[in-house]
Structure 1
Amino acid sequence: MLNLFGSENLSIIAENRIWISRLNSELLNCQNLSSRTHSRPFPDRYNREILPAGLSADRLLIASKAHSDASKMTDNFELKSARSRIEAAYDPDLLSAASQTLSELLTLHARTLDEPDTPVLNWRAPAENLQQALEQLLQAPTTDLATSDLPQRIQEFRALAQTLLDRGHNLQNPRYIGHQVPASIPLAGLFDAITAVTNQVMAVYEMGPWATAVELALIEMIGTEIGFTPGEFTGLVTHGGSLANLTGLLAARNQSCPEIGTLGPQAQLEASPVLLVSADAHYSVTRSANILGIGTEQILKIPLDEHRRMHPLALEELILECRSENRKIIAVVACACATPIGAFDPLEQIADLCEKYQIWLHVDAAHGGPTCFSKRHRHLTQGLHRADSVVFDAHKMMFIPALSAFLFFKNKAHRFTAFQQQAPYLFDPSAPEIADYDLGLRTIECTKRANSYALWGIWALFGKQLFADLVDVTFETAGIFQRLLQETPDFEVVHEPECNIVVFRYQPAWLAALPLEQQNMIHFRIRRQIIESGEFYIVHSVIDGQAAFRITVMNPLTTEAHLKQLLNSICSKANHFKGEFPVTRQTDHCEQT
């Protein structure tokens, strides 16, 4: 029997590829001729007239067919192996065992977070982390997955999951008081896992019918809490406050200057478009101006009052100035609250001016929006319902895993103002009544993750009072910290906190005697030592040119004891720098007058 993989056949094929190709082509021609004449001119003619001496057409064709059969068998074997590997990855028993393992690891992890020696930030240098992440990928199995038994696969899963936990940032640690990213409610992550494991997406209703229902129900409930008129407002959910700001301002631009969207740089505008923006607005507003073709230099910053809130009188002066200079105001952008110190702009007064001059009011309430749930603090966002568009992040003060950002429009007629493109393969003209449920018409994303399951699940399980509780407790903890700062020598509060953001400085006499540049550097270095040690996670800020520490109480389990420990840590680490910098007498500019 001919060995399909024999070295003799492979040698013949390798040396005579051109002849085999010509023979196969001739064979097809001869088969057609034979069906008409019943003659057999092939391969005898090749044996006598064409092939080099010593070669047989039959021998070449047999070798070629053998090799072809072997290739097909190899392909079939490889596809069978591929299917086996895929089946192993999708095995429900593997999912079950891995889920139980992950549940065990997460529970153990959660129980260690409040222990004194558990680091907040598992700090390693970027190059070290990258190298170890690459090593894990390079060590990935290359053998057949189907040959690995279930216990071995679960053991490998356990090791990888433990690595993720060991190397991650422990935001649920009560000593995490850094950025405006919360210690999310643990069960919210489990609801979110349903989205991830089953890959729930949405753009058209039929792709995510339940996800669409969940999102619209939450829009209705939160919008009502804000104070919008039921039946008149609408909204959407997108991936983060930056996209929400972009979408809201895009709607404002299209409402005011639609020709920019259609004609771009060729648009002939009667007036130069500008944005009037709080001086402390988030940098995503500047990015939006760039993307929208308005231009970053066309952002006019509205002066702030002594509490770093937008000054209504300054806003009106700027509006009148723009009108006199023939500038078209796309929108006024207010904050509730602004990132630097958590200041809430006076929304009622700003809304009065926007209504008076018929200007679109956009409010970035990504952080402070959920104060509408709190009886104690809802006054901070009084007037929010009067804005034309409102950004409201569930992944901040509603303590939901990132990302889940809401954008509301006071007038539901604006729901399609941002995006008006057609996609015939998506939207079904035979069912126009469903178009209002095809949420891809409203968002910058087409395929969009169903990122509202976590919030819907927590709301349905615990009720909306939990969101008020989270606001009240974290704001109260920030107030406790303010009192501690006032009672502790050498610390000063930079502002009167309105929410759970507190900015403060450490200013002992020896540090205050240094030049400002050295003071700032010491603040930066103290903070760097604190976060790399894993003891706390805080951030820094620069207010009016002077560095400061900044905390945001984003864990409702943070206590007064934790905050006292932070102040002690700052004092201890600052003393290590005492004497490192030479004290130079700072110039008193008043003496020069």
Structure 2
Amino acid sequence: MTSSLSDVHGSPPEPTAEGPPAPTPGLTAAFDPERFHDGAVEIAGRLTSHLRDRSVRGLDLLDPAVLLKAARDLMTPERRRVADFDADRVNRIVDLYTGTGIPVHSPGYMGRQFSGVVPLAGLIDMVGSVVNQPSSFYEAGQLPNVAERLMAEELNRFIGWDRDRFAMVTTSGGSLANLTALLAARDRAFPQIWTRGAAGLPGPPAIAVSEEAHYSVTRAAGVLGIGERQIVRLPVDHAGRIRADLAGKVLQEATRRGLRLFCLVASAGTTSMGAFDPLEDLAAVAHRHGLWLHVDGAHGASLLLSDRHRDRLRGIERADSLTWDAHKMLFMPAPCTLLFYRDGAAARGAFRQRASYVFDEEPDIYRAYDSADKTLECTKRPMIMPLWTVWSVYGPALFAQKIDRLCAVARQAYRMIDAEPDFAVAHEPESNILCFRYLPDGLEPATTHRLQLEIRNRIRSGGRFFISKVDIDGVAALRVVVMNHLIDAGHLAMLITEIRDVGRRVLGASATARPGHRNGSPS
């Protein structure tokens, strides 16, 4: 290994009077390693205190104007020179950042599908930011590309595809992964469309999706030029799962209307209720109709790592592609999405660009690890590194144990809420998502929707718990997503009590405001 340019080229040329000026002291100081060290130690200490806080708290939602002013006050007024480093300013920025974010490590956080990360993953994410190795090409990110290959092999053990044929690529989020998979599916069905466009096709390209499909799937269809009329909606059961027994008839009707169906999109863990479509049955339907089967497993694919819950994805080995978010149930920093293909050759069908400045003309041992020809991103973060590092240090049992714990707590929440006479569960949880409603005796059906929305908003404003809501059959329901393994029965009981108290106050205020009441008493 050479130690300097002079070892190769001899002595460097002498600088000339016309050369660029030397870096200013301010510029040099901003990149000073010792200053980085001191700042990193200080920030790590503040984050450690943040992680130690196990209090039950939700989201402190500030008025945007207040936060805008607070953030603006933290900006240096210096414009003409590099400002002096201000450690206090940095600390206040970190405190504002952590203080205004969703407290994902708190037992009061039950609202969204992203998780508090494994702390080691956060450290490795910082390493990736400092060394800055975009990972679309092997030469730019050697270890990230090797780690991507290793994680593909590890996770495919749970999927079950031919190890010599499958492929995996990382993408920045499930939305981009779903779009990329649909591009690959479209290329298989219409290989000429990339160069000639859709003109001349015997019928408009179409896809079949669940009525509960994530909006990113229909958004991807729009990006591909597939209009709303070419999105075939497959009926679902009461739990939000595609009715495989009815899907064939719907697909036949779409074909009779002249649509050229090329892909069926199933879900492994829907966003609304965490429902798992019957993949094995849908694979048979897709095969009969010659369709690519894509599984949006952004949330639920991680259940493959659990011996207790893997059966939810029975039939996944028959799918053509799979979206899997590591920033959800693998507890990694966002975004980190893994897109799998059963046939690795199909991965290269999604994109066909060539550019001499990045794509080498002749294949070699390095290019085999490049992923830029299989993803929309030319520059992407080395997002695989936190996952590979945590997997390498702790092994798969860490993920399996947390997944099992989250699903068990969701089941416990189901039992507790189902036992309350003034609550109604909307479904049995298939993973870690549970939807329910507060329905006290005498509640008029017309007010049910509005009541759930008001409860959710007041719970959020209260700052103790953070839950979400979703519409089921057009009526709002409260929704908890158990992402913290520290949540226990005590926290669930606190949440139930708070929902009931808030609901009673809302109904009481509504009754007081009705005509015929004055000053809180009937007139």
Task: Name the TM-score, length of structure 1 as normaliser.
Answer: 0.81
Per-residue CA distance 1:411-441 (angstroms, 9 max, x = gap) = 1111201011101111222444433212111
User: Deviation at 1:142?
Assistant: 4.3
More helix by share: 1
2:114 to 177, 181, 194: 181
User: Deviation at 1:172?
Assistant: 0.8
Q: Does residue 365 of the first structure (1) align with residue 305 of the second (2)?
A: no
- Within-5 A mapping of 1:222-261: 222-261=155-194
**For the residues of structure 2 that align with 1:481 and 1:168, how far apart are their CA atoms?**
25
**For the residues of structure 2 that align with 1:545 and 1:162, how far apart are their CA atoms?**
40
Contact 1:121 1:169 in 2 (8 A): yes
**For the residues of structure 2 that align with 1:83 and 1:386, how far apart are their CA atoms?**
61
Contact 1:360 1:388 in 2 (8 A): yes
Letter in 2 for 1:277: V
- Helix, strand or coil at the partner of 2:340: strand
- Within-5 A mapping of 1:551-562: 551-562=480-491
Letter in 2 for 1:535: R
Q: Does residue 288 of the first structure (1) align with residue 220 of the second (2)?
A: yes
Per-residue CA distance 1:46-92 (angstroms, 9 max, x = gap) = xxxxxxxxxxxxxxxxxxxxxxxxxxx9x99x955x53222111000
* Greater Rg by CA: 1
**For the residues of structure 1 that align with 2:289 and 2:231, how far apart are their CA atoms?**
18
Contact 1:485 1:491 in 2 (8 A): yes
Contact 1:389 1:409 in 2 (8 A): yes
Unaligned ranges ≥5, structure 1 = 1-72, 585-593
Q: Does residue 531 of the first structure (1) align with residue 460 of the second (2)?
A: yes
- Helix, strand or coil at the partner of 1:548: strand
Residue aligning to 1:40: none
- Within-5 A mapping of 1:307-456: 307-456=239-388
- Helix, strand or coil at the partner of 2:200: coil
Letter in 1 for 2:381: R
CA spacing shift, 1:140–1:213, aligned 2, 3 Å: farther
- Helix, strand or coil at the partner of 1:253: helix
- Helix, strand or coil at the partner of 1:288: helix
Per-residue CA distance 1:270-323 (angstroms, 9 max, x = gap) = 122111111100000111111011222210100112332111121111222233
User: Deviation at 1:390?
Assistant: 0.6
Per-residue CA distance 1:97-156 (angstroms, 9 max, x = gap) = 0011011111111112x125xx3212201222223223323x34447548x4xxx63333
Q: Does residue 579 of the first structure (1) align with residue 512 of the second (2)?
A: no
Q: Does residue 115 of the first structure (1) align with residue 55 of the second (2)?
A: yes
Residue aligning to 1:134: 72
1:159 to 84, 92, 107: 92
**For the residues of structure 2 that align with 1:248 and 1:120, how far apart are their CA atoms?**
36
Letter in 2 for 1:362: H
Q: Does residue 196 of the first structure (1) align with residue 138 of the second (2)?
A: no
Contact 1:233 1:409 in 2 (8 A): yes
1:548 to 477, 482, 486: 477
Contact 1:123 1:533 in 2 (8 A): no
**For the residues of structure 1 that align with 2:60 and 2:120, how far apart are their CA atoms?**
23
**For the residues of structure 2 that align with 1:238 and 1:305, how far apart are their CA atoms?**
32
2:34 to 80, 84, 93: 93
Unaligned ranges ≥5, structure 2 = 1-16, 515-523
- What's the C-alpha RMSD, in Å, of the aligned pairs? 2.0
Contact 1:287 1:296 in 2 (8 A): no
Aligned length: 497
Moved more, 318-327 or 299-308: 318-327
Residue aligning to 1:103: 44
Residue aligning to 2:11: none
**For the residues of structure 2 that align with 1:273 and 1:573, how far apart are their CA atoms?**
49
Per-residue CA distance 1:439-480 (angstroms, 9 max, x = gap) = 111110001111111101110111001111111000000001
Q: Does residue 168 of the first structure (1) align with residue 101 of the second (2)?
A: yes
Letter in 2 for 1:557: L
- Helix, strand or coil at the partner of 1:401: coil
**For the residues of structure 2 that align with 1:262 and 1:358, how far apart are their CA atoms?**
23
**For the residues of structure 1 that align with 2:44 and 2:509, how far apart are their CA atoms?**
49
**For the residues of structure 2 that align with 1:306 and 1:430, how far apart are their CA atoms?**
54
Contact 1:181 1:554 in 2 (8 A): yes
**For the residues of structure 1 that align with 2:394 and 2:365, how far apart are their CA atoms?**
34
User: Deviation at 1:509?
Assistant: 1.4
Q: Does residue 220 of the first structure (1) align with residue 220 of the second (2)?
A: no
Letter in 2 for 1:375: D
Task: Name the TM-score, length of structure 2 as normaliser.
Answer: 0.91
**For the residues of structure 2 that align with 1:289 and 1:144, how far apart are their CA atoms?**
49
- Helix, strand or coil at the partner of 1:184: coil
Contact 1:478 1:502 in 2 (8 A): yes
Residue aligning to 1:473: 405
Letter in 2 for 1:156: R
Per-residue CA distance 1:16-73 (angstroms, 9 max, x = gap) = xxxxxxxxxxxxxxxxxxxxxxxxxxxxxxxxxxxxxxxxxxxxxxxxxxxxxxxxx9
